[in-house]
Structure 1
Amino acid sequence: MSQTPAASLQDIVGHAKEYGFVFPSSEIYDGLQAVYDYGQNGVELKNNLKAAWWKAMTQLHDNIVGIDAAIFMHPLTWKASGHVDGFNDPMIDNKDSKKRYRADQLLEGKAEQYEAEGQPEKAQALLAEMGRLLSAEDLNGVRELIIAENIKCPVSGTTNWTEVRQFNLMFSTQVGSVAEESNLIYLRPETAQGIFVNFLNVQKSGRMKVPFGIAQIGKAFRNEIVARQFTFRMREFEQMEMQFFIRPGTEMEWYEKWKEARMKFHKAIGLPAEKLKFHDHEKLAHYANAAVDIEFQFPFGFREMEGIHSRTDFDLRNHQELSKKKQQYFDSDLDENGKPYGNYIPYVLETSVGADRLFLAAFCNAYTVETVGEGEAQKERTYLKLHPALAPFKAAVLPLVKKDGLAEKAEGIANALKSSFRTVYDDGAAIGKRYTRQDLIGTPFCIAVDYQTMEDDTVTIRHRDSMEQERVAISELKEKIGYQVAIERILEAI
């Protein structure tokens, strides 16, 4: 048995559509760029990932609770957060191809090229210079750096670039029944602000003591000018964020703790260590004093999957100033001098992972093509090597044939298991083809019902990854499979 080279993004996209994981949105109308729908299997995988994240945050930590804030928020929220004035991407156009690119991504691509050529020092120097220019808002300097590095448009092959300009990424809309009376509001570009404006509501109603966290899963919207790479960068996406409120001065300690905790989570759901790495930010966001990405090796290279940021007291302080409502916490714990810490605006440590990017990482990592058999019997086998707790279906029950009572027996087994975990019954085509169907959607266990089942109430369990089979009593199925497909297996590994 041997594994073939890594799959291309085209392979991933094709498999995702063919087997009900991800479809282009509004495809009958030729689709909408950078918008996707999750199919019947995709929504199950995504929901399982969200459930694992939610439980890892709220179930494993006594001091983290969840909320679900509205998408629409008062427009001053985005003034206080800095998004109205500073939520921009530096864009540059090629005059010959008429294509638009993010200037920072062009430079990052050049740095990746240097890395691949064995010139890491040159790559780091380029990223450092880019960070300096962007921090200084020197857009002309960014353009000159692109030209100096001889970065060409992938379409035209020329360096005929326009000036670099900033584009705000927020979608705006109107609220109100009459246009003249309406007010401008925004679709939220992040879920974090819904947590910040509810900081005191949660703290007081839950009698929470610092340090404590608030978790949320929700949709966010960004008018990405350059949206690409399947579900990696979309205009409508889902975030899983946790804001951890801490005493000022302790942020670096918590920063390191959450870096370690989040990396553990990604390994626990089955992402291999060699495909994960930390990447410190060259240019810090306006709210941060430290920031790092957890990157995953997608088919198009290492890219950000999760961000961990020390946001200081930027958000709560700005909301306090603009709303004129105090966002302070009274800390009765004693300092080194034996006095209460008293009132302060908490600092915040943020973990923010894209549910869609996590889905794509899990899917890319799971997609497996290997050669099985020998000689003339050799053939390729494709399957999704998903963690059993994440698979859309946990088990498939397959009668060997549809006659002699085997089908009825198998249906009875499937119905008995459905209350414990997602189970499918399938009696169409030869059993080998049915095994293949389940492999292609990542079902970890196939239960074959044969003539021996009718005699001794045992069945054969086929394991997806190894294709090994074992004989098990029907009475043991619920416990045996249920143990291996439970989210608890992920939580235990964190």
Structure 2
Amino acid sequence: MEKKEDKLKDIISHAKEYGFVFPSSEIYDGLAAIYDYGQLGSELKNNIKTYWWKAMTQMHENIVGIDAAIFMHPDTWKASGHVDAFNDPLIDNKDSKKRYRADVLVEDHIEKIRQKIEKEVAKGQKRFGDDFDEVQFKATNPNVLRNVAKIEEIENRMRESLEKEDLVAFKQLIDDLEIACPVSGSKNWTEVRQFNLMFATELGSVAGDSSKIYLRPETAQGIFVNFLNVQKTGRMKIPFGIAQIGKAFRNEIVARQFIFRMREFEQMEMQFFVRPGEEMKWYEYWKEQRTKWHLALGLGEKNYRHHDHIKLAHYANAASDIEFNFPMGFKELEGIHSRTDFDLKQHEELSGKKLRYFDPEINENYIPYVVETSVGLDRMFLSVLSASYHEEKLSDGSERVVMNIPPALAPYKVAVMPLTKKDGLPEKAREIIDTLKFDFNCQYDEKDSIGKRYRRQDAIGTPYSVTVDHQTLEDNTVTIRDRDTMEQERVNIDVLHRIIDEKVSLRKLLTA
């Protein structure tokens, strides 16, 4: 566990040092759970967006994209259920004056019990050595069984109180477990109350004329309210999809784990409109398609798993998460949901406008069902950083930090380096950049020894480094170095474009 936490710290530190991610407003000591993407981070982020957008729209004739406004009519959020039901249970400690999510306090308590189980297992392993049978040990050891029963009882009580919205019972659970404030160590808690996660503001500059509106907590509703606009203007036939990339805002009580959970974040969502009764076929189709999209990046199949929801949201009849093995463990990366006709039906009722589709094939008017794919862009970014960051010991005893970012997503595709700053080598290097820069993001690098420059490019994930030396001026050849293998090859300048393109083209990912 400690090793994983250390890896997250290393990634955060590396991301700041090399210009991937900065704490927001850092000169004013930052703002909790808000981050800025630096010069390399914004390039990587844009490349992830491009990969998603092309895979969704360019590769599918029946999916188009929109860009809806962040501000929406407040009734939008009444219809979607966010005004009444978008809440987290909140509790304050009277002594430390710190605010917590009540369910997170209980989950952290459960995690401590889980760690006791792991300690028992480790002791058993030490005692029995090669003869140790972990499954049998967990099924028979009295300490393990007692702790498993404790966890089950706590989870059942928490689930029951949340489902019934019984906040008194939730507070009683916290009291019974004797949970103390991590800061003050005190058990002096307020009552548990519901906290709406939407940021509210006012539209209009004159008090009295202004009305309360919200920063959108998700991007999906911008798609639903534009369903008919897109369908009619694009002459779309069901099944069809609408894709969108955009910012969303949630006033998280406890936002943590770097860019995994932020108050301002970006989503890449696609709502796929289908005939009622055909939603499960398309749900399975999109589960498979989205898994393929992730695996094409080559971040390691073992880093992904599916988690099908047992308890479904009020609007869904099926839901599954693609989880990724982050430094904090397996967490949700993307959700695939069968949302039924809930959203369009709600908007039709509250707006009084018909949101139906006439299907000429079956001669019927109906509200379509929706299958949603929704991936957090910031989480996607963190998954790439986590899987790409490696500290390697080399055969000569030296070490390097390398970011094995999928080449198509790398901020810079190639670095061009003159061996020295004289004899016409810088001019030749810039000449090479001038032929490559129309298709690839290039970096010119002439500072420090060539070895240090290679290390620097490894650390920012540049797939190729090209060195211009005195021989280049004689025969038009350069040395090209591969980031991952560190192998170097002498090639003619004329074939550089083809070599780089073969490795970094998005086509490779899109056809995988």
TM-score normalised over the length of structure 1: 0.92
Contact 1:87 1:168 in 2 (8 A): yes
Partner of 2:164: 136
Contact 1:135 1:283 in 2 (8 A): no
Partner of 1:350: 372
Partner of 2:405: 386
Q: Write out aligned runs for 1:58-73 (5 A).
A: 58-73=57-72
1:289–1:133 CA distance, 2 compared to 1 (3 A): farther
Task: Calculate percent identity across the aligned residue pairs.
Answer: 65
- Shift, 1:267, TM fit: 1.5
Q: Write out aligned runs for 1:72-471 (5 A).
A: 72-112=71-111, 117=117, 127=155, 130-148=158-176, 151-157=179-185, 159-334=187-362, 340=363, 342-374=364-396, 378-471=397-490
- Shift, 1:207, TM fit: 1.2
Contact 1:306 1:353 in 2 (8 A): yes
Inter-partner Cα distance in structure 2 for 1:202 and 1:136: 39
Contact 1:396 1:438 in 2 (8 A): yes
- Shift, 1:15, TM fit: 0.8
Greater shift after overlay, 130-139 or 33-42?
A: 130-139
Inter-partner Cα distance in structure 1 for 2:491 and 2:212: 63
1:127–1:250 CA distance, 2 compared to 1 (3 A): farther
- Shift, 1:147, TM fit: 4.6
Inter-partner Cα distance in structure 2 for 1:128 and 1:446: 56
Aligned residues: 481
- 1:164 maps to a residue whose letter is V
Partner of 2:50: 51
- Shift, 1:65, TM fit: 0.6
Greater shift after overlay, 363-372 or 137-146?
A: 137-146
- 2:355 maps to a residue whose letter is Q
Inter-partner Cα distance in structure 1 for 2:282 and 2:153: 29
1:298–1:150 CA distance, 2 compared to 1 (3 A): farther
Greater shift after overlay, 140-149 or 239-248?
A: 140-149
Partner of 2:127: none
- 2:426 maps to a residue whose letter is A
The DSSP-based 3-state class of the residue aligned with 1:326 is: coil
Partner of 1:39: 38
- Shift, 1:136, TM fit: 2.2
- 1:140 maps to a residue whose letter is V
Greater shift after overlay, 130-139 or 470-479?
A: 130-139
1:61–1:267 CA distance, 2 compared to 1 (3 A): same
Inter-partner Cα distance in structure 1 for 2:209 and 2:336: 41
The DSSP-based 3-state class of the residue aligned with 2:39 is: coil
Contact 1:25 1:37 in 2 (8 A): yes
1:464–1:133 CA distance, 2 compared to 1 (3 A): same
Q: Deviations over 1:194-236 (max 9, x none)?
A: 0000001111111111111100001111111111111111111
Inter-partner Cα distance in structure 2 for 1:125 and 1:380: 49
Q: Unmatched 5+ residue regions in structure 1?
A: 335-339
Partner of 2:13: 14
Inter-partner Cα distance in structure 1 for 2:108 and 2:295: 27
Greater shift after overlay, 105-114 or 304-313?
A: 105-114
The DSSP-based 3-state class of the residue aligned with 2:361 is: strand
The DSSP-based 3-state class of the residue aligned with 1:185 is: strand
Inter-partner Cα distance in structure 2 for 1:128 and 1:492: 46
Inter-partner Cα distance in structure 2 for 1:22 and 1:226: 20
Contact 1:232 1:360 in 2 (8 A): yes
1:437–1:275 CA distance, 2 compared to 1 (3 A): same
Q: Unmatched 5+ residue regions in structure 2?
A: 119-137, 140-147
Inter-partner Cα distance in structure 1 for 2:45 and 2:194: 33
The DSSP-based 3-state class of the residue aligned with 1:180 is: coil
Q: Deviations over 1:22-68 (max 9, x none)?
A: 11111111111111111100000000001111111111111111000
Greater shift after overlay, 108-117 or 6-15?
A: 108-117
Q: Deviations over 1:265-288 (max 9, x none)?
A: 122123322121222334422322
TM-score normalised over the length of structure 2: 0.89
Inter-partner Cα distance in structure 2 for 1:427 and 1:397: 8
- Shift, 1:321, TM fit: 0.4
- 1:388 maps to a residue whose letter is P
